Amino acid sequence: MQSIILASKSPRRQELLHHITDDFEVIVSDADEVLPEGISPEEAPVYLSRIKARAVADSHPDRIIIGADTVVILDGKVLGKPRDKNDAIRMLRTLSDRIHTVVTGCSIIKGDRVRSFGDSTRVEFYPLTDREIEDYIASGEPFDKAGAYGIQGKGSLLVKGIEGDFFNVMGLPVGKLHRELKAFLSTEDN
């Protein structure tokens, strides 16, 4: 497989990309992550993954660039990363005893070629007590994660079940990305 650039500073994405290949480097995108007016919550992460990858691809036209973005959607609204402790409390109370959707958008770019896709996973939370929320926030884990939780860490204690790709909730749908990357490379060889 050709050398890849991952346009993401996320340590979780870096860890997950190792499942596909060890031949990659990280160059963090400096893209301005402004969404166009009227874009749906489900389309937003695909759009953002594309602009992140494009920002890096412009400086590296002969390399394969992978960009990704993950959002948590509840009641048609995106829950981003919490601004502070109170925002994390609000998000976790909102997610308590509910089912939400996690969408990760991915884009693969080389030169003028672009392949983008999204993957969705449904996540159900247990009913959470104020004490459980406070204990989780005290772990420090929620503050750099969409929806104020990380399923791969202590946030797993909040999750009753999932429907879809576990790794998608972590920020990179490994199986689907692997297949999309192989398809991208096979069309390049023709």
pTM of this prediction? 0.93
Are 70 and 146 in contact by the 8 Å Cβ rule? The answer is yes
Q: Identify whether 69 is a catalytic site residue.
A: yes
User: Looking at the 3D structure of the chain, how many domains does it have?
Assistant: 1
Using CB atoms within 10 A of its CB, is residue 36 exposed (0-12), middle (13-18) or buried (19+)?
exposed
Our measurement of the distance from residue 98's CA atom to the centroid of its chain's CA atoms, rounded to an integer in Å, reads 20
Which whole-number Å values give the CA distances from 104 to 7, 50, 68, 111, 116, in the listed order?
A: 14, 12, 7, 23, 11
Residue 84 phi, psi (nearest 5): -165, -175
Domain of residue 137, residue span: 4-189
Q: One digit per residue, pLDDT tens: the chain, 190 residues?
A: 578 999 999 999 999 999 999 999 999 998 888 889 999 999 999 999 999 999 999 999 999 999 999 999 999 999 989 999 999 999 999 999 999 999 999 999 999 999 999 999 999 999 999 999 999 999 999 998 999 999 999 999 999 999 999 999 999 999 999 999 999 999 876 5
Closest CA to 181 of 53, 51, 83, 29: 53
Q: Of 69, 112, 144, 189, which residue is the catalytic one?
A: 69
122 three-state secondary structure: strand
Contacts of 66 (CB under 8 A, 6+ apart): 4, 5, 6, 7, 8, 17, 24, 53, 106, 107, 108, 177, 181
Q: Are 133 and 125 in contact (CB under 8 A)?
A: no
Three-state SS letters, 43-66? CHHHHHHHHHHHHHHCCCCCCEEE
Determine contact, residues 123/100, Cβ cutoff 8 Å.
yes
Q: What is the CATH number of the domain that holds 174?
A: 3.90.950.10
